[in-house]
Amino acid sequence: MSSVDCVNTILIGLPDRWPIPIPVSLVLSTLLAAVINFWVSFDMILDTFVNAELLSVDSSCQTTTFDYIIVGAGGAGMVVATRIANASSFASILLLEAGGEPSVLNDIPAFDAYLENQPANTWLYNSTEQTNACQNCDGKKVLTTRGKMLGGSTSTNFMMYVRGNKEDYNRWSTEDLGGDPQWNYENLLPYFKKSEDYNGAWASPKPRMPRPIMCFPRLMSQLKTLARAHTALFKDTGKPSNLCIKKYALVFKINFETVSEKPKAFSVTYQRQGLTQTVTATKEIILSAGTFGSAKLLMLSGVGPAHHLSSLDIPIVKDLPVGSQLQDHVTTIVGPFLKSQGVNPNRDLTVQAATEFLKSGTGLLAAPGTLTGQGFIKSPVAQPDYADIQMVHASASLYPKLPKDLNKMFGPRVDILESWFDPYHKQNVDARFGLLILGRPKSVGKLRLANRNPDDNPIMDLQYLRHPDDVEALLFGFKKFVDLYENTAALNTTLFPKPVPGCESFAFKSDDYYRCVIRSFSFSIYHHVGSCALGKVVDNQLK
C-alpha cells in the first residue's frame, strides 16, 4: 500500500471536518515566524560550508572577475541571470542576493499574508507620516515590505498574475520614450508568453469541491511556476554551470571609473559572511534590487539628485532624478460584508485541508490570502480613458485575532480594528471583504537616503492620495463594490452596519463617509514603482 493510500485510509475513518485541536489563528503567526527564523539560520550556516566566501566548492564562484554581475535575485534578477547564463554558455555570471533560500512555507499560497512581514527574510519599511491617507494606521505611516530571498517578492506574493493594460505600454512607449516601438505591448507580448506555463491540468474541476471559493485557487496553484520566479527558473530547472549565486551578500557600493570623460561602472562592493569584497565586471553590472533597493544603492554610489547627495557628502557621479517618481497602487478595504461562507483559520484549517494540499496542491491552503477573484473598472476621472480601478474579492471571516493579523499585513491600528469589529470577530462571524486598488495614481512621492549608512532604510514620502482625483477614483470603486454586494442575487448582503472609527460624524454610506473610510484605511499592496523611472533615470536600453 502506498503512502497516499495509507493517508486516504486514515482519513476515511475520521470525521469530515476534524479540526486541529487548538485555535490556529492564536499561534499561526508565532509558529511561522519561528520556522522562518530557524530556516534562515540553518540556511546561513549551510551556506558558509557549501559556498564559503574565501574558498567556494562551486567552481563558477572561484574568481573575483565576472562578465556580468547582477545585484538582486528577485523576479527580475533571477530571470535575467538565468537567461544570460543559458544563452551565453561561455560567459561568467555572478548573482548577488541579500537573502537566502525560500523556506518550504513559501510554497504554501495560504501563508502568503503571514509571510509578507517576516523580519528574517523580508525588508520592512515604514513611510513618513501621511497627511492625506493612512489616518487609522500605526503612526499614520504606510507599512510595506519586500522579499529578501531568492525570488525576492515573488516568493511571498499573492500569485495573482496580471500583465497590465496594453494601452499603458503603448502610452509609455509613445509619451515617455519618444515613440520607441520596442516598448509597446505588441512587442512585449512574446516575452510575457515566454514566461507563462499553464498545462491545462484544471480545465475540468475535480468532483470534490469543499467550498465554492476554491475554484479560483485551483488555477492559481497551476500558475505557481509563473508567479514564483525562483521556482520556475532555478529550483525546477537547475542552476546553469556558469552562474555563481552568492546568498546573504549585501551590496552597498557600485564603483565607477572615468572612460572617455564619462563615468562607467566597473565593480561592486559587498559584505558577506563577515567579509567585505569587491568584484569586477568585464561587460555589465545589472541592478535589479527592487524599487527601494536599486534607488538606495544608486544614491549611495553617487548617482541621484545632486542637491540631496551633496547634503550627505556623497561624491556625485551623475545627477539623475533617482527616487523622484515613486508611486504605488494605494489600496483600501471595502466591507466587511457578513456573508457566508468565509475562511476562518480556527475552523477551516483542518487535518483534511493540510492533507489535501500535500497530496494534490488543492483546497484551502492553495488559496493565496483568501483571494477569490478580481475585476477591473473605469472611474469617471480615469485619464487616459480606460480602466483604472482593480477590485479584488477576499473570502476572509471575522475571527478574534483578525485585527492583529491585518495590522501585521497592512498596518491599520489594532485598537481601531478591535473597536470596529467588536463583537463580531469575537463570535467568529463569516464575512467577505473587498480590496479596492487604485491602478493609475496621480499622486507622486519620493525616496531619499536617511544617511550614508547602507544598513539604514531610506526615507519614503509616498504622498498617498495627495491628488484629489485619486480619492474620487477610489470613491467610485467603493460605491461599485457596495452596490455589487447589496444589489446582486449572487451576493445579496449589506455593508457592515458599524461605521469606521473616526468617520462617525459623516452620514453613514454618504460620499463623504466613504471618502473618510478611504483616507482612514489606505495602505500598500506592495506594488511600488518609479524610483528608477524609464526615460528619466534609465534610457530606452535600461542603461
Output Rg (C-alpha) for the chain, integer angstroms.
24
CA angle 94, 95, 101 (to 5 degrees): 135
Supply φ then ψ for residue 284, to 5 degrees: -145, 150
Q: Which residues of 331-349 are buried (b: 16+ CB within 10 A; e: fewer)?
A: bbbbbbbbbeebbbbbbbb
Overall size of the chain counted in residues: 543
Query: Could you give the C-alpha distances from 154 to 137, 142, 145, 160, 231, in angstroms and in order?
Result: 26, 21, 12, 10, 10
End-to-end CA distance of the chain: 59
Q: Strand, coil or helix: what is 454?
A: coil
162 appears as a binding residue in the annotation = no
List of residues 6+ apart from 501 with CB closer than 8 A: 136, 416, 419, 420, 520
Can you read off the three cell numbers belonging to residue 528?
Answer: 511600488
Q: Which residues of 476-505 are buried (b: 16+ CB within 10 A; e: fewer)?
A: bbbebbbebbeeeeeeebebbeebbebbee
Task: Residue 213: count other Cβ atoms within 10 Å of its Cβ.
Answer: 21
Q: Report the distance separating Cα 454 and Cα 324, nearest Å.
A: 19
List of residues 6+ apart from 355 with CB closer than 8 A: 7, 11
Q: Which residues of 387-421 are buried (b: 16+ CB within 10 A; e: fewer)?
A: ebbbbbbbbbbbbbbbbebbbbbbbbbeebbbebb
Q: Which residues of 431-463 are buried (b: 16+ CB within 10 A; e: fewer)?
A: bbbbbbbbbbbbbebbbbbeeeebeeebbbbbb
Q: Report the distance separating Cα 119 and Cα 457, nearest Å.
A: 13
Q: Report the distance separating Cα 92 and Cα 81, nearest Å.
A: 10
CA nearest to 287, candidates 502, 97, 88:
97
Q: Report the distance separating Cα 326 and Cα 3, nearest Å.
A: 52
DSSP state, residue 499: P
Q: Report the distance separating Cα 289 and Cα 274, nearest Å.
A: 21
Query: Could you give the C-alpha distances from 33 to 45, 47, 107, in angstroms and in order?
Result: 18, 21, 15
Burial of 297 (0-12, 13-18, 19+ CB in 10 A): buried
Q: Strand, coil or helix: what is 21?
A: coil
| Spatial strand order in the sheet of 389-394 | 371-377, 389-394, 432-438, 331-337, 522-523
Q: Which residues are annotated as a binding site?
A: 251
Known binding residues for FAD: 251
